[in-house]
Amino acid sequence: MISEKDLNQAATTFDRLSDAVTGVIVGHEAAVRGALIALLCRGNILLEGVPGLGKTLLVRTLAHAMGLRYSRIQFTPDLMPADIVGTDIITEEDGHRRFSFSPGPVFANVVLADEINRATPKTQSALLEAMEERTVSVGTHTYPLEEPYIVLATQNPIEMEGTYPLPEAQIDRFLLKANVGFPTLEELVEITSRNTEGEGIRLPDPVAGADDIVLARRAVREIPIAAGLREYVARLVLATHPIDESAPAMVRDYVEYGASPRGALAVILAAKAHAFLCGEPNVRPADIEAVFGMALGHRLVLNFRGEAEGIPPADLLSDVWNKVRAV
């Protein structure tokens, strides 16, 4: 059980971390908050946005602020799984040749999978084990990944030619999916000011270590959530299924498959992390509402009609949220 002191320390650490990131990243509060939540929940996050919005900068800033090992993988169509997870290579030592494992870029604390949808599904799938089990299997060996570990992936929603949409199995591994929107006028002015004057962008100094992250994760998991709210989340998730009687009309019309149980876990965990970041001692309905879209939006599989009409998952989830009542 976490102590009062540890709780205070964890809260202070993440206050500093949040300040460090937002000191570099202009705007994108939802994306920054999502990244921190994913970090606190031992999850991964998919950032979706057009190029040039600062997605990569966000990840780099976060890694620098935490003082963790950072790696970046630029996904391309010809990227192979071994390029990610590593491979056995023949080495010669004392006149003897033998295979030795050369770790790939996935062996880091913070992994940026940039434009993940440009790689083939085979290569994308190479990340599955690392994202979920925090291990990498090569040949007959399984290598554990160092904690804290987080994969932050980005994808470009508009440049779809030559891309490979993430398979459902993989996209379900992402705890959250945050949209990185275009900055506002004020934000854009601030961005230009920071990047075109003086020495340009200066990444923050580390304000937290791996132990701080692990401690904070423990604190997050101990945040209480009322049984009624847990049931509420379950009903919300069930309502995303078109076959469920509580599903709203839009879900019935446009959704092929709803969120998985992993989605319910994601909502509750993310809500806890959100409450932690807000300094609340318990999960509030507002916390659930704040993470509901990010946690479930990418888990809805639209049917043909939904895809054809381009129904935004956010609209579907808004419908679900409005229909399902907590009490």
The radius of gyration of the chain from alpha carbons, rounded to an integer in Å, stands at 21
Q: By CB under 8 A, is residue 286 in contact with other proteins?
A: yes
What CA–CA distance (Å, rounded) separates 221 from 276? 10
> If we measure between CA atoms, which residue out of 118, 140, 145 comes closest to residue 130?
145
Least distance from other proteins to the Cβ atom of residue 9, Å: 12
- Candidates 81-89, 163-171, 274-282, 308-316: pick the segment binding other proteins (CB under 8 A): 274-282
Q: By CB under 8 A, is residue 283 in contact with other proteins?
A: yes
Can you read off the two tokens belonging to residue 218? 């423990």
How distant, in Å, are the alpha carbons of 13, 166, 251, 304 from that of 311?
Answer: 40, 18, 10, 10
Query: In this chain, which of 89, 243, 308, 326 binds other proteins, going by CB under 8 A?
Result: 326
Q: By CB under 8 A, is residue 280 in contact with other proteins?
A: yes
Site string for other proteins, 205-244 (x = CB under 8 A): -----------------xxxxxxxx-xx------------
Least distance from other proteins to the Cβ atom of residue 7, Å: 5
Between 113 and 219, name the residue whose CB sits nearer to other proteins. 219
What CA–CA distance (Å, rounded) separates 259 from 294? 12
CA dihedral 152, 85, 72, 11 (to 10 degrees): 40
**3-class state of residue 37 by DSSP:** helix
Between 157 and 224, name the residue whose CB sits nearer to other proteins. 224
Site string for other proteins, 44-83 (x = CB under 8 A): ----------------------------------------
Query: In this chain, which of 50, 91, 282, 305 binds other proteins, going by CB under 8 A?
Result: 282
Least distance from other proteins to the Cβ atom of residue 325, Å: 9
Between 243 and 326, name the residue whose CB sits nearer to other proteins. 326
Query: In this chain, which of 285, 303, 314, 323 binds other proteins, going by CB under 8 A?
Result: 285
Can you read off the two tokens belonging to residue 162? 């030559």
Q: By CB under 8 A, is residue 2 in contact with other proteins?
A: yes
**Is residue 259 within 8 Å of residue 224, measured between CB atoms?**
no
Least distance from other proteins to the Cβ atom of residue 267, Å: 15
Q: By CB under 8 A, is residue 100 in contact with other proteins?
A: no
Between 6 and 187, name the residue whose CB sits nearer to other proteins. 6
**3-class state of residue 252 by DSSP:** helix
For the chain, how many helices (H) and strands (E)?
Answer: 15, 11
Q: By CB under 8 A, is residue 185 in contact with other proteins?
A: no
- In the block, which residue shows the tokens 């010669």? 92
What CA–CA distance (Å, rounded) separates 325 from 327? 6
Between 3 and 196, name the residue whose CB sits nearer to other proteins. 3
**3-class state of residue 263 by DSSP:** helix
What CA–CA distance (Å, rounded) separates 62 from 154? 15
**Is residue 128 within 8 Å of residue 170, measured between CB atoms?**
yes
Q: What residues line the site for other proteins (CB under 8 A)?
A: 1-4, 7, 222-229, 231-232, 280-286, 326-327
